[in-house]
A and B are shown apart, each in its own frame.
Chain A
Amino acid sequence: MESPEKFRKSASEVFKLMYVVFFVFLVIAGLLVYLMVDPSLSAFKNNNSDNTYISISKQEESDFDKIENGIHVRTGFIEAEGLMQVVNNCTSCHSAKLVTQNRMSKEQWSATIRWMQETQNLWDLGQNEEAILSYLATNYAPKKGGRRQNLSDVEWYDLEE
């Protein structure tokens, strides 16, 4: 009489243990999977930036050529007449940054285009060339720098020694 009772008891104990072990595994597995998807645990650290990120990426998808504060966001080019011709012809080989960090006259921009056509496999720009040149010469024209400029963009800080 005693032994079937004992068996049932120990069997239910075993089942309980099995459930506990299985549950613990499920929790661990869930945590591990989460860690792989988000190894830096960023979702817990800063929900706001996470949300911002999502909203920006969604916006970018829907607005590939978005302009913000007069700047073409994707490339950093100034918004002006000829912008898209420049984006389409001048950023497939090199970064837009190579253009935007430079300042040249129309003649020099033109010489640069010729140099790229002669040595860098740039195609014939056809009717777009005039628009591109006038965009570059207008928006990225040389500024006078003189023989030495003032130190600029100085960020002041207290020096502790």
Chain B
Amino acid sequence: MQRRKFVKKGALITLSTLLATEIVYGKNLPSGYTLLGLQDPDPFKLFNKDSQMVLLNDKPWNIEAQAHLLDDKITPNKYMFIRNNGIIPTNILVDDWTLTFDGESVAEKKTYTLKELKSKFKQYTYQLTLECGGNGRSEFDPPAKGNQWTVGAVSCAEWTGVRLRDVLNDIGIGDDAVYIGYHAADTHLSGDPNKEPISRGVPMSKAFQDETLLAFKMNGEDIPLAHGFPLRLIVGGWPASASGKWLKGISVRNKVHDGTKMTGTAYRVPCEPVAPGDKVADEDMCIIESMPVKSLITYPKSGAVVPEGKSLEIRGHAWAGELNVTKVEYSIDFGSTWKSCSLKNSVNRLAWQHFAASVRFPKKGYYEVWSRATDSMEVSQPMVLPGWNPKGYLNNACHRIAIKVS
């Protein structure tokens, strides 16, 4: 009996030794995998994006959605476009993350930890539309330089954070404040540590709006890395480039912020309309502020073949920068006649609105369903491309999907 016990014990020891080896391996191997994964990344896995998202650029990362992927009322991360200008920061230490306010119109430089921001100020949650200034660039003629976005560089997620206004009031800023400019932790493509990939901003009036947030949550969770974890400035309704990711600093300026991508042709359009292809002098370029009125048919996906005699339910979203959308119409005859869609009010200011319609087709054949939104200033989307500009911004031409009735 003694011996039996001994043997059993020995077997157990052998087992535990074996298992111990197993556990050590188990701990080591997955970390090795992460490293390999980072060396040769599959962006869709790396950023948790749906495989139908379209990769435009992998250095820096630029990925867009397709219209039908944006059907959700609140855009989930997997369908949210990525527009990066530099290299995503690594080694983000959330507990040590700080935000520093400086600039000509701040009496004394002040730094908050992320924890302080979260505990000291009231938190707000808004659904906010963020559209890349260059969304739709691919259609311009002559072509404009840059990532060739089609329609998918837009999202409306739910952002949670504290109001920039509350923090600016806590610091106390000078009467001469004109503009804020952000600084971030991403690094320049060239590797030059003295260069900022992007440092944009907005005038004080926009900085002081209720919905302008220092956000640390997207759709109720930590902001995904590619979208600015752990802290992002969120400025709804303006070019999404104003919503600085990986936020480390805000300069309160006594003049229009002159950081990277605030000057030249970047996020600026001719102050007065120009002919396609014209050269425009720097001093004749104006900074883009509110984005223009626009709509997107998110259902059905373009290319639907529907049986004759059946009506087609369409739906989508419409938004108008700082303004409300008052009307969305659709046309099935290339803009000759328009019928109205049902339209919901926005959940909060600067969130996109949802429209729907039941479409009937008179006979078999090829159709395009076009959608056209009108904003509260009575301005509608154009059916052809709007005014050409050197960098191809602000293309809000009406959205079109192809339908066959058979």
Q: Which A residues are within 8 Å of any B CB, using their own CB?
A: 10-11, 14-15, 17-18, 21-22, 25, 29, 32-33, 36-37, 93-95, 97-98, 101-104, 108, 112, 120-122, 142-149, 151, 154-159, 161
Q: Which of A32, A157, A161 contacts B303 (CB 8 A)?
A: A157
The reply to whether A142 and B142 contact each other, CB–CB distance below 8 Å, is: yes
Q: Which of A36, A97, A156 contacts B25 (CB 8 A)?
A: A36
The reply to whether B305 and A159 contact each other, CB–CB distance below 8 Å, is: yes
* Residue of B whose beta carbon sits closest to that of A97: B57
Chain B residues lying within 8 Å of A15, measured Cβ to Cβ, are: 7
- The minimal Cβ–Cβ distance linking B118 to chain A, given in whole angstroms, is 36
In the docked arrangement, what's the CA distance between A93 and B8, Å? Answer: 63
The reply to whether B14 and A155 contact each other, CB–CB distance below 8 Å, is: no
B59 within 8 A of A: yes
Chain B residues lying within 8 Å of A147, measured Cβ to Cβ, are: 141, 384-385
In the docked arrangement, what's the CA distance between A112 and B145, Å? Answer: 9
The reply to whether A101 and B141 contact each other, CB–CB distance below 8 Å, is: no
* Residue of A whose beta carbon sits closest to that of B385: A147
* Residue of B whose beta carbon sits closest to that of A144: B141
Given A14-B4, A25-B14, A120-B195, 9 more A-B residue pairs with CB atoms under 8 Å apart are: A36-B25, A97-B55, A120-B188, A120-B190, A121-B188, A143-B143, A145-B139, A155-B303, A157-B305
B275 within 8 A of A: no
Q: Which B residues are within 8 Å of any A CB, using their own CB?
A: 3-4, 7-8, 10-11, 14-15, 18, 21-22, 25-26, 29-30, 55-60, 139-143, 145-148, 188-190, 192, 195, 300-306, 310, 312-313, 368, 383-385, 397, 400-402, 404
* Residue of A whose beta carbon sits closest to that of B138: A101
- The minimal Cβ–Cβ distance linking B42 to chain A, given in whole angstroms, is 13
The reply to whether B190 and A93 contact each other, CB–CB distance below 8 Å, is: yes
A14-B3, A120-B189 known; A157+B304 contact, CB < 8 A: yes
The reply to whether A94 and B4 contact each other, CB–CB distance below 8 Å, is: no
Chain B residues lying within 8 Å of A25, measured Cβ to Cβ, are: 14-15, 18
The reply to whether A18 and B7 contact each other, CB–CB distance below 8 Å, is: yes
Chain A residues lying within 8 Å of B368, measured Cβ to Cβ, are: 151
Chain B residues lying within 8 Å of A120, measured Cβ to Cβ, are: 188-190, 195
- The minimal Cβ–Cβ distance linking B361 to chain A, given in whole angstroms, is 12
* Residue of A whose beta carbon sits closest to that of B397: A148
The reply to whether B26 and A95 contact each other, CB–CB distance below 8 Å, is: no
The reply to whether B303 and A95 contact each other, CB–CB distance below 8 Å, is: no
- The minimal Cβ–Cβ distance linking B401 to chain A, given in whole angstroms, is 8
Chain B residues lying within 8 Å of A11, measured Cβ to Cβ, are: 3-4
The reply to whether A29 and B402 contact each other, CB–CB distance below 8 Å, is: no
* Residue of B whose beta carbon sits closest to that of A159: B304
List 21 A-B pairs, Cβ < 8 Å. A17-B7, A21-B11, A25-B15, A29-B21, A33-B25, A94-B57, A98-B147, A101-B148, A102-B148, A121-B195, A142-B142, A144-B141, A146-B141, A147-B384, A148-B383, A148-B384, A149-B139, A151-B400, A151-B402, A156-B305, A157-B301
In the docked arrangement, what's the CA distance between A157 and B140, Å? Answer: 29
Chain A residues lying within 8 Å of B384, measured Cβ to Cβ, are: 147-148
The reply to whether B15 and A151 contact each other, CB–CB distance below 8 Å, is: no
The reply to whether A101 and B57 contact each other, CB–CB distance below 8 Å, is: yes
In the docked arrangement, what's the CA distance between A36 and B25, Å? Answer: 8
The reply to whether B313 and A161 contact each other, CB–CB distance below 8 Å, is: yes
